[in-house]
Chain A
Amino acid sequence: MTINIKMKIVTQIKNLENYKIYLQVEKAVHGFMEKNNYLKVDLPVLSPALIPESYLEIFETEFNYFDKKEKLYLTPSPEIFLKRLLVAGVGNCYYLGRAYRNSEPNSDWHSSEFTMLEFYKLGINYLEMAEEVLKLLQEISNKVKNPSFAKATEGKQKLKFDRWEKYSVTEAFEKFAGIKKEELFNEKLFIKKAKNKGFNIDNTGYEDLFSQMLAAEVEPKLGVSGYPTLLYDLPKQMASLAKLNDDGLTAQRCEFYINGLEVGGFCTELNDYKEQQKRFILEAKKRKQNKMIDHTIDKGFVKALKYGLPFCTGAGIGFERLVMIFSNTKSIDELKLISIK
């Protein structure tokens, strides 16, 4: 069944106050990054090649000049460029700008065109990065003045950023979904448990069921106790670009949540080009199977990794989701002056 979507350009001047908060958060982020010696990098959003990812659909367009034609793609994340720069020796750096994901309808938490904050720091692991992210949240909280925010949250528990509420994935699943450690990391046992809970397990593997259970039973409980929640040590299946922990089961990846919504994530970067190459082939194959856009694969990216990515941790934050917290809004659309919907 095809559903026709006729998009419209909508002017939303009623969102002016929210948009001004957006600008304040943006200014606070730039201020934090400058103070902490991250280099701001502006990057292209059109690229002739991409990293294959089987869960992200892309936008494609074409460059034309007389008889010359070349496919170009809007980048779903700045990672492809930032990692090249890290290999080349740029040092600590950040990008705050547009990213594009196709096949994602506008919802409270998604927009196919959105703003991403991605930054990398050399010489630290994911847990040290958690402290850095907390400092960033504190800085924004101190800098953003929102008179309507205090009023709107009157009587509610005020969100504080002086510490994380921390759960390992193992602890969170045990506490909120009643899944024991031995069930969480044993794919067969986990799928059985999901079936008993009523999840539809037909054609559904461990990764998808993990995501479904996380979204339905765990996430609504995170970041709701007055502090942001750090969920750390994800199963290795859910973090293929992260360094593995010594337990062999989990990877050095975290995500953080506020009001039940994932705002960002970060991991100690995997510095193994062979592993990356394997993953590329697998993801490209999956894209073909799923009949997704057949884009050119960025071989230069693997080449760069082969040269050597320095030890670092990279963090990605959905910038609109971050602004939603400080503007007390419930959807990305409430931040937009012009909305395509």
Chain B
Amino acid sequence: MKPIIHPMNRRKFLKSSGSVALLIGVSGILPQVVSCTDDKDLHEYLEKHNITSWVRISKDGQVTIYNPAAEMGQGSMTSLPAIFAEEMDADWNLVTVEFSPQESAIYGSDGWGPNGKIMLSAGSRVTSGYYPIMRKAGAQARHILMYSAARHWEVPIEAISTRPGTVIYAEGNKELGFGELIPYLEIPETFPEFGEGELKDPNDYRLVGKDLARTDIPAKINGSAQFAIDVRLPDMLYGILERGALHGARPTLENEAEILTMAGIQKIVPFDYAIGIIGTTLEQTLAARKKLQISWSDAKASGFNSREVFQKYEKIADQPEGGQILVEKGNFKESLRTASKTYRIDFKNDYVYHAQMEPLNAVIQLAEDGRQAEVWVGSQQGFDSKLGIPEALGLEPVKVKINLQYLGGGFGRRSMTDFTTECALLAKQVPGRPLKLIWTREDDVRYGAFRPLSLQRITAAIDSRGKISGFSHLVVGDGGNLVASGIRNEFYEIPNQFAELREESEGIRLKHWRAVGHGPNKFAIECMIDEIALDQGREPVDLRRELMQQSPRALATLEEAVAMADAYGPVPDGRARGMAFLERSGTLSTGICEISVDRATGKIRVHHFWSAVDAGIVIQPDNVKAQMEGGILMGISSVLYERITIENGMVQQSNFHDYQILRMQDIPDSVEISLLDSRELPQGVGESGTPLVACAIANAFAKLTGKRLRHLPFTAERVSEVLQA
């Protein structure tokens, strides 16, 4: 370890800990300052003194590591602590994991850009954003242990080393477990910088890159894992909102007096877009909701029909005038002018809904004196780790305590704070009593915030040598980056590229949906590559190889995926394979699927899916595979079945009977994932699988039938139409 670079005295260290990850232990580290055996006392102490705590050590050697990210199934409850434990040299068998307090100034990551530290579990950024933070914090923890042991044995720190859970002075033949060190713990006056050279060499990792059993799973198989919807508190009231099916419509309640006479109904709370009811029991509150007589105003979405929107979008795409230019590389117009052949194809996609299995909900208790509040919620957090609640309650953020619970799915929906704000406004009406807001599934669907529909117009130019010389991608849709993400082609060597966004708002609520715009945009791009290849008499895989010559990592995923599929032997009769490549959240992946189609019904079946992934350093290989498997299945679900339709501004679907998602009988026989070796920094994988699916299926379908699927989703009805056309 290098000598100290940033001298920092102890007092300053404590006070500036927001910018330094530091370790504090129960009855341990800083024993002269804090000696708490009670977690609550420790938390209060930490809050009072604004000290960062990443870890707690107890006398029996148990190590508790804080996870600063949401756990929505992506495995943060295991992967982030594993990074910390790796550097700390903790004994994983003695590690337990807890959610950190929701304080972004302390536990946030600055991996989201220049806006400071935030806690946001979205965009597949958790691992990449926290990898450097957890490494450094873990290394600091180890340094404190080694420093303390050196002082205790009165030897130089250079003579001290560690093995999992134990500090060693080899020459003196002495060692102490982390827990045994507690009486001797001291914070050093200064700390090493912990630059790359002072952290563990990834080649020496013993936890990172190995499969650890996920720490959250034991509670998820016996019913004890607590989601926010499971929270029950003494004297808890229930809240339900009727929001209608027309986004933005204003309600007028016609029978307030009647509702207030119903059993258990405490209050009616009007919102701009909803009528809220507070009741004593959930069943009473739901019963009252059924009796509401509400007249609704018109809204921006009135008259909007999603089935007809593409005629308008095509006209917008036809306009010579542009919108926002997103990519301008070389001179696309010139490549068109000099082209030997040009292609222009439109691709479309409908709205899709998140369908996370746990409907939105939260529990909030405003103190009787109205001066502080406590919240239980499953949230992907966001730019404000207090979830809009202080504003709704008129409180300082420091007066709002968030207790993060497990998330029953996120997929982008739980990075919105509409439901937490609603719950706060209801709780404000009943100070002193906890209030649980539940969205029914119908609420969750009708008042959803969907992945926007969009039109993708791709124009490509082929030069006299038969190469793709120009590629233009025009998106017409709503929501800015919601429809624009994934529009870039950084891994294909095409000299002239152009991308443009023309926004058109329909007044429908929209939100990030797993992989955001990558789903529709990669669908369009990858289908276009296949269409060009086949028209040029080339194998799609060969064209991609040529385009990837300057991108060896991308090409490696392609070759590996091809090898995986080839290992299954020739394609059986009546089936075909199709491929797609993409980058999402820094991860590169190629996917190949094998499908068949029932020509009588139009039903597509995916038999196999192979994907090769370069995600940089992989923290938990089996978990990365699980994310890819799940992402691919969610992709199959959305591509084959899912569609929200709007008629006269009204959302037409309401529950899983009319919004079908993938069921077990329709899953592939196999999904195989291969992780490529890499020493690059870890990248995000939660969203890499989903957008591979549409293009891989469409390309396989074209091979099988000679027909093109260009409008998502590929419902049996739509596929039949395409087959008969």
Please determine whether chains A and B interact with each other in the same assembly: no
